[in-house]
Amino acid sequence: MQGCKYCISVVDKNEIVGVAMVGRPIARHFDDGFTVEINRTCTFGRENVNSMLYGAARRAAWALGYTRIITYTQADESGASLRAAGFVLVRELRERESWYASSSPHGKTFRDPVGTGGVPRKLWECVRAK
């Protein structure tokens, strides 16, 4: 994946039960060299695996010298796993025509090839204590 910084997994009894991809922030105004974004997580539904992934991603970010880690969820998701890993809700974002649409009223809007547009989202962050 372009912009990928690192990937992590949760293993139980020699079986991968969850993975996360962390990379450069998609929004260019967050791409300051000190911030990374959790771009994807995937689990097989086992309890607490998402919280483990978010916590491990945060610890790895701190170990690599980053001071802020962000991610997005859909508005209807509770964010319980994120809160358990120390993240806080920063803002709720209105729906866009697509995930690729710019938040700027002057930005370009691209056709969404996978049909994920029209989804209100939430922005979460965890900032390293100084």
pLDDT tens digits along 65-123: 999 999 999 999 999 999 999 999 999 998 876 655 665 555 555 555 555 567 889 99
Give ∠ CA 35-129-34 in degrees, rounded to 5: 15
Q: 4-94+120-127 — its CATH code?
A: 3.40.630.30
Q: What percent of the chain has pLDDT over 90?
A: 72
Contacts 24+ apart (CB under 8 A), 76-84: 77/122, 79/122, 79/124, 80/51, 81/48, 81/50, 81/51, 81/53, 81/54, 82/54, 82/124, 84/48, 84/51, 84/54, 84/55
Only one residue has tokens 């949760």, namely 10
- Bridge partners of 70, per DSSP, are 37, 125
Global pTM reads 0.82
